[in-house]
Amino acid sequence: MNHPRSLASRVFLALSAAAVLGFALSGCGHGQDGSSSGSRPGGARQGGSGGGHSATIPVMAEAVPEGPLTVVSDTAGTVNPVTHSNVASQIAGTVAKINHLAGDWVKAGETVIQLDDSQLRLSAKIARSALDNAKITLSTSEDTTSQANPMLALQVQSDEAALAAAQKNYDSAKALLAVGGATSSQVDSAQSQLQLAQANLATAKTNLDQNQKADVQTLAQLRIAVDQADNQLKQAELNLQYAQVKAPFAGQISVVNVNPGEYVGVATSTFVLVSADKEVDFNVPPTDAMHLVVGTRLSFNYGGKSFQIAVRQLPSAPVNGMVPMVASVPASFPITYGAVGTVGYALTLARGILIPIASLQTTEDRNYVFVIKDGKAIMQTITIIAESGITAAVSGIDPGSQVTVSPPPGLLNGSTVQVVQAVSANAASGTPAQQSPAPSSQPPSSGQGGSPSGQAGRP
């Protein structure tokens, strides 16, 4: 996988290229008039920023284009099933039969492992009988309630009529007593009958009220008993279904973990099922993951063949410094599970002016390049947007500008220069053209022509 060069590597690259340039030019570099362009007397031209005489410095230069900075990377990828499930038993029991072995393809809901269900069938029958009994008890109580309440209500009505008659008789006795038509004993007798009628009515109403309340409570309890019996039956029937360990989805059995006669507990993994759908799992650095959005096209290379795949899910949090990624594959993808190939992807890190890393220079507070204008090297501040390999995307200069490549250590702002080798603009591909070094007539100058810090704009 490609990574941006470190500061030390860029310094080494720049100094090495400058040394080669100076060595080559020391033996074959001449001015256009045939005289030496080195440090010999008479070999200097008017130049520099101070108006004095300075030697013409031969340099290599490149016309820099504007465009995207693209890096091609690759990483290992593994073909895995989209769904991988350890299918566990939901009840304890003894394995009675194995219907499918490893390698078999099964449909969703198809029974793979059959547990002994004889005890479960008996439990289901007992639960069904308990439910029938609870329903009968509830029905009997409802019938009794429906018969008792009307009889008690009739008794209340009868006592109400008796009370009314007793009240009328008492009132008549009192009236007769006032005119001498009845004796005091007759009035007392009528009053006793009235009090008895009142007591009888109160008792009848109490009996009716108590019977109604008792019926409500009793029926509620019986209904709860029916619900409980029904739930027990459903659980028994569900356990009977669980005796068949079925495939939760259509796929291929990769492993069978049990044998006939073996006892399995709840949550024991009985077999492993994988889906027919495949995916490619791979890991990338966090800096790459942010560019690999859902739908990004990738390539999977295996056995000398290349297949188009696409990112299927958003990047997750890094694991051990790498971000797990998943890519979907075509329906006709022929590679088997577990195959390890190479996932290739191209990332556009930034868009800007594409310059060679060897052109970048730095001071303590800025990055710059030497731009050649009217035969002079002009120091121009740039901002590094992104770097990759031997190319950087920057801003701060115009597209098509001619910048020096591996400027010699003695190059100053305003120095007069001569382009002895024009380098092809291959920054976008990261492959510079072959360079022919030329001699330099200036000795190294401390504090100038350093390597860029590369801190600004790194992805």
What pLDDT, on a 0 to 100 scale, did the predictor assign at position 148? Answer: 66
How far CA 375 is from CA of 44, 54, 200, 253, in Å, comes to 14, 13, 132, 75
Q: Considering the domain 118-242, what is its CATH architecture?
A: Orthogonal Bundle (1.10)
The percent of residues above 70 in pLDDT, for the chain, comes to: 78
The percent of residues above 90 in pLDDT, for the chain, comes to: 54
Average pLDDT over residues 67-88: 94
Nearest to 246 by CA among 277, 273, 282: 273
Average pLDDT over residues 395-406: 95
Pairing of the two strands 105-106 and 251-256? antiparallel
What pLDDT, on a 0 to 100 scale, did the predictor assign at position 213? Answer: 67
Contacts 24+ apart (CB under 8 A), 292-301: 292/325, 292/345, 292/347, 296/345, 298/327, 298/343, 298/344, 298/345, 299/343, 299/344, 299/345, 300/77, 300/327, 300/329, 300/335, 300/341, 300/342, 300/343, 300/344, 301/74, 301/341, 301/342, 301/343, 301/344
What pLDDT, on a 0 to 100 scale, did the predictor assign at position 180? Answer: 78
pTM reported for the whole predicted model = 0.52
Q: Looking at 9-18, 152-161, 353-362, which range is the least confident one?
A: 9-18
Q: Cβ(354)–Cβ(427) under 8 Å?
A: yes
User: 117 pLDDT exceeds 60?
Assistant: yes
User: 452 pLDDT exceeds 60?
Assistant: no
* Backbone φ and ψ of 70, nearest 5°: -115, 135
User: 446 pLDDT exceeds 50?
Assistant: no
Q: Which residues contact 235 (CB under 8 A, 6 or more apart)?
A: 127
Average pLDDT over residues 139-160: 78
More confident residue, 18 or 424: 424
Segment 118-130, tens digit of pLDDT: 999 999 999 999 9
3-state secondary structure 76-138: EEEEEECCEEEEECCCCEEEEEECCCCCCEECCCCEEEEECCHHHHHHHHHHHHHHHHHHHHH
Task: Please give the CATH superfamily to which domain 73-81+278-349 belongs.
Answer: Efflux pump adaptor protein, beta barrel domain (2.40.30.170)
Pairing of the two strands 417-423 and 57-63? parallel
pLDDT grade, residue 216 (50/70/90)? Answer: confident
The enclosing H or E element of 191 equals helix 184-242
Segment 10-64, tens digit of pLDDT: 444 444 444 444 444 444 333 333 333 333 233 333 334 444 446 899 999 999 9
What pLDDT, on a 0 to 100 scale, did the predictor assign at position 419? Answer: 92
The enclosing H or E element of 418 equals strand 417-423
Largest distance between two CA atoms of the chain: 172
What pLDDT, on a 0 to 100 scale, did the predictor assign at position 382? Answer: 96
Q: Looking at 158-167, 176-185, 237-246, 371-380, which range is the least confident one?
A: 176-185
Domains 73-81+278-349 and 118-242 share a fold: no
CATH classification (class only), 84-110+249-274: mainly beta
Average pLDDT over residues 248-265: 95
Domain 7-71+350-423: assigned CATH number: 2.40.420.20
Q: Would you list the domain boundaries of the chain?
A: 7-71+350-423, 73-81+278-349, 84-110+249-274, 118-242
More confident residue, 184 or 94: 94
